[in-house]
């Protein structure tokens, strides 16, 4: 039997790089190993440009505009050839960041050969420990993945959900608490609740800080001060980090502490759990017949039962959100701890960021496609409301309580009387209206209750949808 491991091209081990590759492909530019190396090159190049542009080392000339453009072109032109070259160098160095340093030096020799002869190449990676480059690279990678890929997809889903809520603003729905019929609401209001929750989490993600440090082997600038004692290294570090579009972390060990990552992953996981709640609710509404799944799209709902259209988009999203949430949780809990100055648990752990965000992105895609395939079924919702007149026991006993508090006679024990009427049995409109007429209510209150139906007992549900931004 041939080994699948030997197949060409290689067969993916994980679902994200196999079955679901198309849905998560945009993340490859941000969270793959190749993207990590590109960002490392980016940081090394920008540090070299910063040093020469600010006259950090006495006697080193400023690079020309063409040389700066050529150096930045290493980053913008980074592709499969550079990936292969780095792999070749790393086979010798057995160190990934050192391989990046050597690659940049090779390119610099071709861009400014005369300057290279005078030792300009020694300013590549000058004063840096590997983690100076890595922490900035990861911050740039995660920032790009979140702001350019995940957030736009999440915002699009948020707007899709808000649009559904507004469209179903006035469609009455029998609510269920503990799985039992409860005070009616509207489908729009229920979707608006989930929209509101998700929107709040997205605003937290949008406000995320992406921190970076640039302070040497133990966070003390020891080598920096010894090599160039006249330089204000705190200012240099802050300006360089902020120049990359990151927030400067002034106090660290050898590694950036990763607290910002833990904060971000907690917010992403929480957003995912809200979406998981959306999936389970919509799945339940589909099972109750409140949503019909659009047919005629060429899909097979069940391999044996032609009548079925399975809610697979929501089920798929649930599974992916559970995987994503678990990974985001372990990332957040592990990354914030490092033994003394440094250990390498974070190095291995951070290589799973793409998997965690990828499963979340895949879930967003499936939820969006699932929602797009739904048609509301107001008739089914109305039928359930009509079959549950007992839910109007709540407003009747509440009206009696208010009247009793005002001293109106005959309003004693309203809860108990309504419980006797409704508990354990179904009533219809005639039963309820007969009960109301026998209470001796003031005419205006009686008229209000007699006109009430399960379909109209939705309170301010419709208006609450209007609170969505």
User: What residues are labeled active site?
Assistant: 178, 302
Task: Annotate 324-335 with DSSP letters as a single string.
Answer: HHHHHHHHHHHH
- CA torsion sign for 88, 93, 97, 99 is negative
Distance between CA 284 and CA 279 in Å, rounded?
8
Both tokens of 325, joined, read: 């949430």
Task: Annotate 257-298 with DSSP letters as a single string.
Answer: --HHHHHHHHHHHHHHHHHHHHHHHHHHHHHTTSEEE---SS
Distance between CA 292 and CA 56 in Å, rounded?
67
70 within 8 A of 116, measured Cβ to Cβ? no
The angle formed by the CA atoms of residues 185, 190 and 191, to the nearest 5 degrees, is 145
Distance between CA 452 and CA 388 in Å, rounded?
13
Contacts of 189 (CB under 8 A, 6+ apart): 165, 169, 458, 461, 462, 464, 465
136 within 8 A of 245, measured Cβ to Cβ? no
Q: Which string of b and e fits 164-180 if b means at least 16 CB within 10 Å?
A: bbbebbebbbbbeeeee
Closest CA to 237 of 199, 359, 73, 225: 225
Distance between CA 144 and CA 30 in Å, rounded?
6
Distance between CA 216 and CA 222 in Å, rounded?
7
Closest CA to 396 of 348, 345, 358, 453: 453
State the DSSP code for 150: I
Distance between CA 38 and CA 75 in Å, rounded?
6
- Kindly state the helix (H) or strand (E) to which residue 14 belongs, with its residue range: none
| CA dist list (Å): 367 to 80, 329, 444 | 34, 22, 47
* Chain Cα centroid distance, residue 291: 26
Q: Which string of b and e fits 26-36 if b means at least 16 CB within 10 Å?
A: bbbebbbebbb
């Amino acid at each position: 039997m041939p080994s699948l491991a030997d197949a060409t091209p290689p067969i993916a081990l994980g679902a994200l790089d196999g079955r679901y590759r198309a849905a998560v492909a945009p993340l490859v530019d941000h969270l793959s190993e190749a993207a990590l190396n590109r960002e490392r090159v980016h940081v090394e190049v920008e540090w070299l440009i910063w040093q020469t542009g600010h006259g950090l080392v006495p006697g080193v000339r400023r690079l020309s505009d063409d040389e700066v453009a050529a150096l930045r072109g290493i980053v913008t032109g980074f592709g499969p050839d550079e990936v292969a070259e780095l792999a070749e160098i790393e086979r010798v160095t057995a160190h990934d960041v050192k391989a990046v340093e050597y690659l940049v030096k090779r390119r610099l020799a071709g861009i400014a050969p005369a300057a290279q002869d005078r030792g300009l190449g020694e300013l590549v990676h000058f004063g840096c420990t590997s983690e100076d480059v890595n922490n900035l690279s990861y911050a740039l990678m995660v920032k790009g993945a979140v702001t350019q890929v995940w957030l736009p997809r999440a915002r699009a889903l948020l707007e899709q959900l808000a649009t559904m809520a507004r469209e179903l603003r006035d469609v009455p729905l029998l609510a269920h608490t503990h799985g039992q019929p409860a005070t009616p609401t509207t489908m729009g209001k229920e979707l608006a609740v989930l929209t509101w929750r998700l929107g709040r989490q997205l605003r937290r993600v949008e406000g995320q800080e992406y921190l970076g440090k640039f302070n040497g082997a133990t966070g003390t600038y020891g080598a920096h001060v010894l090599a160039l004692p006249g330089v204000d290294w705190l200012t240099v570090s802050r300006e360089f980090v902020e120049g990359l579009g990151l927030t400067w972390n002034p106090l660290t060990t050898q590694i950036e502490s990763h607290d910002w990552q833990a904060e971000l992953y907690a917010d992403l996981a929480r957003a995912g759990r809200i979406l998981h709640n959306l999936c389970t609710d919509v799945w339940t509404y589909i099972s109750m017949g409140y949503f019909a799944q659009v047919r005629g799209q060429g899909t097979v709902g069940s391999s044996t039962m032609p009548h079925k259209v399975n809610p697979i988009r929501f089920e798929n999203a649930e599974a992916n959100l559970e995987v994503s949430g678990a990974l985001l949780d372990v990332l957040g809990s592990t990354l914030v701890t490092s033994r003394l100055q440094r250990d390498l648990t974070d190095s291995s752990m951070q290589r799973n960021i793409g998997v965690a965000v990828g499963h979340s992105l895949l879930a967003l895609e499936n939820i969006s496609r699932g929602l797009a395939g739904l048609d509301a079924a107001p008739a089914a919702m109305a039928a359930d409301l009509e079959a549950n007149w007992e839910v109007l026991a709540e407003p009747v006993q509440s009206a009696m309580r208010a009247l009793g508090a005002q001293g109106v006679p005959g309003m004693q024990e309203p809860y108990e009387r309504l419980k006797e009427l409704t508990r354990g049995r179904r009533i219809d409109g005639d039963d309820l209206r007969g009960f109301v007429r026998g209470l001796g209510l003031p005419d205006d209150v009686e008229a209000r209750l007699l006109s009430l139906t399960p379909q109209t007992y939705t309170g301010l549900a419709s208006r609450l949808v209007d609170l969505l931004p």
